[in-house]
């Protein structure tokens, strides 16, 4: 097949996406496909990714390591003269010619449903979740409302529009402040006391004006991948220092990951069953990843759903798939064929 892998984009998770896109491209080339890796934002007129199909005969592979810090999006915009469009030159036309577009994007336009809607309008086949499920999962306030209304636990929260809301007197501590529609723990702060709240809100505001202030649940952190409607083995996440933030997610050796997790069959069933329920109620696609906190009383709180889970060297979904004897390249091909 001719497969375009879309990565990058203008998102705080841009570097994570470029790492995912490089590995996905290599895996699909290994499987014998013709692959073109493109940056959604920079388009075909950039110097970093050349618009040509690569296959086994090309004897070429891609690589991209995620830096410890988030990218400078202003500098990236300046490099293309602050162009207004989030989709680079030539991207849609090239995608129309491919058999399938593999979405290796994270955050922003890649996961909020806007790109999926554009691809639908243009009759382009793509991987992952459609525009409705992408919108529902990306907006943490909407997804948590749906999750709670379906009798699945999620931490209590307050939705805040920072352009109009100024009353934070009803906040309980400790809490977690996070942008409403970002992933990879971007803009997230653990707040222990009222004196820390304002700085946490200002930090989240760097990314968007819609914020949720969430009850902090203390416990063990788990994630459950979904593949073709089935739950994969549960993985436990144990950062060596602090919480599972951007740096701990993508810098090798900073987080311990145990898969399958060392939990009872009862807890395993609870997490996997809840993950499948969340996946279905949010109308997610062929694959996803659902994150949980398990408190000291073994109550499982759903944190969020990921429609395009990371596929970097430290990402969770590939580790869970491997625990089911699904190699990385097999996983990528399964996703590409599920259109």
88 preceded by a cis bond (ω within 30 of 0): no
Residues marked active site are found at: 13, 184, 315
Asked if residue 273 belongs to a known ligand binding site, the reply is no
Summarize pLDDT for 255-284 with one digit per residue, the tens. 788 999 999 999 999 999 999 999 999 999
Q: In this prediction, what percent of the chain has a pLDDT beyond 70?
A: 92
Q: What is the mean pLDDT of residues 294-314?
A: 93
User: 3-state DSSP call for residue 313?
Assistant: coil
Domains of the chain and any CATH numbers: 2-126 (3.40.50.20), 137-153+218-337 (3.30.470.20), 157-215 (3.30.1490.20)
Q: How confident is the model at residue 73 (pLDDT cuts 50, 70, 90)?
A: confident
For residues 168 and 298, give the distance between their C-alpha atoms in angstroms, rounded to a whole number. Answer: 30
Is 192 within any annotated ligand binding site? Answer: no
Is 304 within any annotated ligand binding site? yes
Per-residue model confidence (pLDDT) at position 321: 96
Return all residues near 75 (Cβ < 8 A) that are at least 6 apart.
none
Give the three-class secondary structure for 60. coil
DSSP 95-160: HHHSSEEEE---SHHHHSSHHHHHHHHTT--BSS--HHHHHHHH-HHHHHHHHHHTT-----EEEE
Mean pLDDT estimate for the chain: 90
Q: How many residues does the chain have?
A: 339
Q: Which residue has the higher pLDDT, 67 or 20?
A: 20
**Residue 242's pLDDT is what?**
60
pLDDT digits (tens, 9 = 90+) for 125-144: 999 999 999 999 999 999 99
Q: What is the pTM of this model?
A: 0.92
Q: Average the pLDDT over 290-316 and give the result.
A: 93
- Based on its alpha-carbon atoms, the radius of gyration of the chain, rounded to whole angstroms, reads 19
Q: Residue 50 pLDDT more than 70?
A: no
| Confidence at 247, pLDDT banded by 50, 70, 90 | low
pLDDT of residue 86 exceeding 70, the answer is yes
Indicate if the pLDDT at residue 334 is higher than 70: yes
Strand partners, 34: 2
On the question of pLDDT at 249 being above 70, the answer is no
Classify burial at 123, counting beta carbons within 10 Å of its beta carbon; exposed 0-12, middle 13-18, buried 19 or more.
exposed
| Paired residues of 305 in beta bridges | 290
What is the C-alpha to C-alpha distance for residues 87 and 85, in angstroms, rounded to an integer? Answer: 5
Please tell me the distance from the alpha carbon of residue 274 to that of residue 153, in angstroms, as a whole number. 9
HEC sequence for 185-202: CCCCEEECCHHHHHHHHH
- The pLDDT assigned to 311 comes to 92
């Amino acid at each position: 097949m001719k497969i375009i892998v879309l990565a990058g984009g203008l998102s705080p998770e841009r570097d994570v996406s470029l790492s995912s896109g490089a590995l996905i491209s290599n895996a699909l080339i290994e499987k014998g496909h013709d692959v073109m890796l493109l940056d959604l934002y920079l388009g075909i007129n950039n110097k970093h990714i050349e618009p040509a199909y690569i296959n086994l005969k090309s004897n070429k592979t891609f690589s991209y390591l995620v830096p410890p810090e988030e990218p400078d999006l202003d500098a990236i915009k300046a490099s293309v003269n602050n162009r207004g469009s989030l989709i680079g030159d030539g991207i849609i036309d090239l995608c129309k010619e491919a058999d399938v577009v593999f979405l290796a994007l994270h955050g922003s336009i890649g996961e909020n449903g806007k790109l999926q809607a554009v691809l639908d309008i243009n009759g382009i086949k793509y991987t992952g979740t459609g525009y409705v499920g992408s919108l529902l999962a990306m907006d943490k306030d909407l997804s948590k409302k749906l999750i709670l209304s379906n009798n699945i636990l999620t931490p209590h929260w307050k939705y805040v529009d920072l352009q109009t809301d100024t009353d934070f007197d009803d906040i309980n501590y400790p809490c977690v402040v996070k942008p409403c529609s970002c992933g990879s723990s971007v803009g997230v702060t653990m707040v222990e006391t009222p004196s820390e709240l304002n700085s946490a809100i200002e930090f989240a505001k760097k990314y968007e004006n819609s914020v949720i202030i969430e009850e902090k649940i203390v416990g063990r952190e788990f994630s459950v991948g979904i593949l073709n409607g089935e739950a994969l083995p549960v993985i436990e996440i144990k950062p060596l220092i602090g919480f599972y933030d951007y740096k701990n997610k993508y810098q090798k050796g900073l987080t311990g990951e145990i898969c399958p997790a060392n939990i009872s069959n009862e807890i395993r069933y609870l997490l996997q069953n809840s993950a499948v329920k969340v996946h279905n109620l949010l109308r997610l696609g062929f694959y996803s990843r659902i994150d949980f906190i398990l408190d000291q009383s073994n109550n499982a709180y759903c944190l969020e759903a990921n429609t395009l889970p990371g596929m970097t060297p430290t990402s969770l979904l590939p580790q869970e798939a491997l625990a089911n004897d699904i190699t990385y390249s097999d996983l990528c091909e399964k996703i590409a064929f599920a259109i």
